[in-house]
Structure 1
Amino acid sequence: MTKEFHTNISQITLQYQRKVKANERPKISSALRAYQLFRANWDDMTINLFEEFKILLLDRNNCCMGIVPIAKGGVSGVTVDPKLIFASALKARACGIILGHNHPSGGLKASSADKAITRKIVQGAHYLDISILDHLIVTDDEYYSMADDNLVSFTL
């Protein structure tokens, strides 16, 4: 084989930079605690402007390894690519995921699209042996937990 054959391909790297020691990670023991972490990491200037979708990645002890912004959308919706969620979780070696997105309107009712994407992500996560623990709808001062309403397979 020629050397040229080997150099004409893209290099793919996987990196996860840990900034906090495992024993210093915040533990997620409730939907309220997950909301508090999401809210502390949501931009006050945009939470009521457009929809964003983020995930919390959790280790085996439900301690937060990090938060990953997945997508930004418009005033009334955001398109979520599950591949980005799973790539992030696999890269960090996460055991659990909490999904979160905001509703700029301030409404806390889960739409049919919210429920559909949650089902799709739960199904994909099952094959990867990753738990989807919850999907929160976040507003500037409240939240809604799909796990609390038994709309995801796993609860905290």
Structure 2
Amino acid sequence: MQDKPTSFSIKDWADDDKPRKKLVLKGYAALSDAELIAILIGSGNRDESAVALSKRILASTNNNLNELGKLTIKQLMQFNGIGEAKAITIIAALEVGRRRRGETAQKITKINSSKDVFELLQPILGELPHEEFWIVYLNNSSKVLHREQLSKGGITGTLVDIRLVLKQALEYGAVGIILAHNHPSSTLRPSAADKQITNKLKIAAEALDIKVLDHVIITEKAYFSFADEQLL
């Protein structure tokens, strides 16, 4: 008589195999962030399983995947068990996720609220270490005609050319524009300069029958709307 095949529970599997088998049996939604990263790196080091090492890497970024995505190859290689190939794999996977969010944002063709502005531009601006100023040009149905980076600056601020904004608005046939820029510091409070440029653009645009509909400050996870806060 043949012996029956031995059945193993998940606790009997090798530590580095557990996340893979768990994904097969229960689906990707059942895995923690650390378990998903463990699948990417495949193995840990002499003292840690892939999951334990992944947990330690995540802990260094306060368990924030966006912060993890900002680490360089050199920074990741500081962890025992992470060589160049594993570091590249982690960075590549997180970049794919970022681009996936960007594709979702491209499907937004009409702006109905400040949240739509955030969803449209957060994948572009949310994680930048420097400040950028963008303009979204809209028609009279609030459909997006064009979005464009107007300027790029250091972490302390960026320059805005009002004449260029209005010239392009006329070229695109826009009747409304939305201003947007990011705050790398993650603060949502508008600065005096933010308020000043908003007011200048609003006054200049009104002379051409173009309306400044909003100015949205974007950070990694949140946003501030001048329109929502009745600052326009």
Give the alignment's TM-score, normalised by structure 2. 0.52
Q: Which aligned pairs between 1:34-113 and structure 2 lie closer than 5 A?
A: 34-40=117-123, 42=124, 47-113=127-193
Provide the aligned C-alpha RMSD in A. 1.5
1:26 counterpart letter in structure 2: T
Structure 1 runs of 4+ with >2 Å offset: none
Alpha-carbon distance in structure 1 between the residues aligned to 2:137 and 2:128: 24
Structure with the higher helix share, 1 or 2: 2
Alpha-carbon distance in structure 1 between the residues aligned to 2:128 and 2:134: 15
User: Residues 142, 43 of structure 1: CA spacing in aligned structure 2 closer, same or farther, 3 A cutoff?
Assistant: closer
Alpha-carbon distance in structure 2 between the residues aligned to 1:43 and 1:51: 8
Deviation at 1:43, TM superposition (A): 5.3
Match of 1:140 among 220, 224, 228: 220
Alpha-carbon distance in structure 2 between the residues aligned to 1:30 and 1:121: 20
Give the alignment's TM-score, normalised by structure 1. 0.77
Q: Does 1:124 align with 2:204?
A: yes
User: In terms of Rg, which structure is larger?
Assistant: 2
User: Residues 51, 25 of structure 1: CA spacing in aligned structure 2 closer, same or farther, 3 A cutoff?
Assistant: closer
Alpha-carbon distance in structure 1 between the residues aligned to 2:181 and 2:202: 16
Higher RCO (CA < 8 A, seq sep 6+): 1
User: Residues 43, 138 of structure 1: CA spacing in aligned structure 2 closer, same or farther, 3 A cutoff?
Assistant: closer
* SS of alignment partner, residue 116 of structure 1: helix
- Note the residue ranges of structure 1 that are not aligned, 5 or more in a row: 1-23
- Note the residue ranges of structure 2 that are not aligned, 5 or more in a row: 1-106
Percent identical residues = 40
* SS of alignment partner, residue 148 of structure 2: strand
Structure with the higher strand share, 1 or 2: 1
